């Protein structure tokens, strides 16, 4: 399985796409269209938000029970890519409804300076309704009568909230019911028992790849709460999100940039100060896939990455966008945090206030000037770049098995 080891946008899409070439089935287990996976091959760029990227390579793409699904986005992606592969959608996944999007937007507006900086796609409100047992699920699309009834019950409450609490427009039952019945007609053929499907595929010896969305530090339980998403991106969640046992997962590949980015609010110890941050943003093209927002940029943070290795059980690391670091004279790497009491630690702080106050302790590594696009393996990297990779491996005690040196599928170096 492939999991984001930072705050998202590590280039998981690209690594999943590469590994998908060897897989039969590619599954998503959490999140919704807040993800934005960019895949570049054969000179074409594809941005995909909801359907697992394996569909682009002709694989079986499974959206598991742990996902929240915006049917409008799925229908658009099926129109664009459906012919390329096979799509299966869990009947237990929850639907994102128009009021979820409206509430996400209104509550962020209301929070003002305290906002989370969500993607405003309705993710949080959809998961909140799931936990409150008020959600509408994909399987409710199978019966038009049930669907209309559930929308009616939900709207009776949601419209009160929208009008009286958030002071925005209510939704009209007939309009929403008509719109969702339209999606239902498109999606019914794809609804399946995805737990059974994946179990059967594994029993038949097929190769199954799990595609994490968002990332470790955005995990609802293990991330930098409250500046997190509303699902569990961590590796163990693949088992619950798809409905298989935890011992079926053989390998956990963590994906990390060679530096760090974060969109949205929240503490970020190794964030770069001043114009160097802009330089990094320009070099790395660090603007959000879903929202177009500027991503905040920082130096590689090995304290946070060590934490990601722990909570996911990462046994191999893919280090992406190493090429972006070419032409910096020196590369600070955060190796420890200095805490409020003046001591230093290798371990990620367990409490929010300690993380807020954490100061990065850097080790300065040597930069390199050579471009990396002529290298065809890790062994061929310029000395300083190879040392950078080896430093990460030593500090984390995890092998870096893949190194990204450019946007194309082909620009990923393996060890040999
Ligand atoms: P939400 O997932 O839209 O509720 O947003 C919650 C937080 O997660 C915000 O900081 C978002 O910017 C962040 N987030 C959600 N999805 C992604 C992603 O795919 N990449 C990076 N950040 C994300
Ligand atoms: Mg993204």
- Residue 410: pLDDT over 90: no
Predicted confidence at residue 38, as pLDDT, reads 86
Percent above pLDDT 90 for the chain: 92
| Confidence at 402, pLDDT banded by 50, 70, 90 | very high
pLDDT mean across residues, the chain: 96
- Residue 245: pLDDT over 90: yes
pLDDT digits (tens, 9 = 90+) for 71-110: 999 999 999 999 999 999 999 999 999 999 999 999 999 9
**Would residue 79 show up in a list of annotated catalytic residues for this protein?**
no
Average pLDDT score over residue span 232-261: 98
User: Which pTM was predicted?
Assistant: 0.96
**Would residue 199 show up in a list of annotated catalytic residues for this protein?**
no
**Of residues 58, 93, 49, the one with CA closest to residue 190:** 93
Percent above pLDDT 70 for the chain: 100
**Residues 348, 222: Cα–Cα separation, whole Å:** 11
Q: What spacing in Å lies between the alpha carbon of 281 and ligand 1's midpoint? A: 18
Query: Atom of ligand 1 at shortest distance to CA of 213?
Result: 19
**54 and 305 in contact (C-beta within 8 Å)?**
no
CA distances from 9 to 34, 36, 186, 290, 372 (A): 11, 8, 30, 11, 21
CA distances from 203 to 24, 84, 85, 352 (A): 13, 25, 21, 43
The residue annotated as part of the active site, out of 17, 37, 70, 100, is 37
Largest CA distance in the chain: 66
Predicted confidence at residue 153, as pLDDT, reads 97
pLDDT digits (tens, 9 = 90+) for 280-295: 999 999 998 778 899 9
The pocket around ligand 1, CB under 6 angstroms, is made up of 8-9, 34-36, 116-119, 121, 123-124, 213-214, 218, 227, 229-230, 263-264
pLDDT digits (tens, 9 = 90+) for 132-156: 999 999 999 999 999 999 999 999 9
């Amino acid at each position: 399985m492939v999991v984001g080891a930072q705050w998202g946008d590590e280039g998981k899409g690209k690594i999943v796409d590469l590994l998908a070439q060897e897989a039969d089935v590619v599954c998503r287990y959490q999140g919704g269209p807040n993800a934005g996976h960019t895949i570049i091959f054969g000179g074409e760029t594809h941005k995909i938000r909801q359907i697992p990227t394996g569909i682009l390579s002709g694989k079986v793409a499974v959206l598991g029970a742990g996902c929240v699904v915006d049917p409008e986005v799925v229908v658009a992606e099926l129109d664009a890519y459906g012919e390329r592969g096979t799509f299966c959608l869990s009947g237990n996944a929850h639907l994102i409804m128009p009021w979820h999007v409206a509430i996400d937007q209104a509550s962020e507006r209301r929070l003002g300076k305290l906002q989370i900086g969500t993607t405003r796609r309705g993710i949080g409100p959809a998961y909140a309704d799931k936990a409150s047992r008020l959600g509408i699920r994909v399987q409710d699309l199978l019966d038009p009568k049930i669907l209309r009834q559930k929308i009616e019950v939900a709207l009776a409450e949601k419209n009160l909230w929208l009008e009286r609490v958030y002071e925005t427009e209510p939704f009209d039952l007939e309009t929403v019911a008509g719109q969702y019945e339209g999606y239902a007609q498109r999606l019914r053929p794809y609804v399946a028992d995805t737990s059974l499907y994946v179990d059967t595929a594994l029993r038949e010896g097929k190769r199954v790849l799990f595609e994490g969305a968002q990332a470790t530090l955005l995990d609802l339980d293990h991330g930098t709460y409250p500046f997190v998403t509303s699902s569990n991106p961590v590796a163990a969640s693949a088992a619950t999100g798809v409905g298989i046992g935890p011992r079926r997962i053989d390998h956990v590949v963590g994906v990390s940039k060679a530096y760090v980015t974060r969109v949205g609010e929240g503490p970020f110890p190794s964030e770069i100060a001043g114009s160097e941050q802009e330089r990094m943003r320009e070099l790395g093209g660090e603007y959000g896939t879903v929202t177009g927002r500027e991503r905040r940029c920082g130096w590689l943070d090995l304290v946070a990455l060590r934490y990601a290795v722990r909570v996911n059980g990462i046994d191999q690391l893919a280090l992406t966008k190493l090429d972006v670091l070419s032409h910096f004279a020196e590369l600070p790497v955060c190796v420890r945090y200095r805490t409020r009491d003046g001591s230093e630690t290798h371990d990620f702080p367990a409490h929010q206030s300690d993380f807020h106050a954490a100061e990065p302790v850097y080790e300065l590594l040597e930069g390199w000037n050579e471009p990396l696009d002529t290298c065809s393996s890790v062994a061929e990297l310029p000395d300083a770049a190879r040392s950078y990779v080896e430093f990460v491996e030593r500090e984390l005690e995890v092998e870096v098995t893949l190194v990204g040196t450019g946007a194309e599928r082909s620009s990923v170096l393996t060890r040999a």
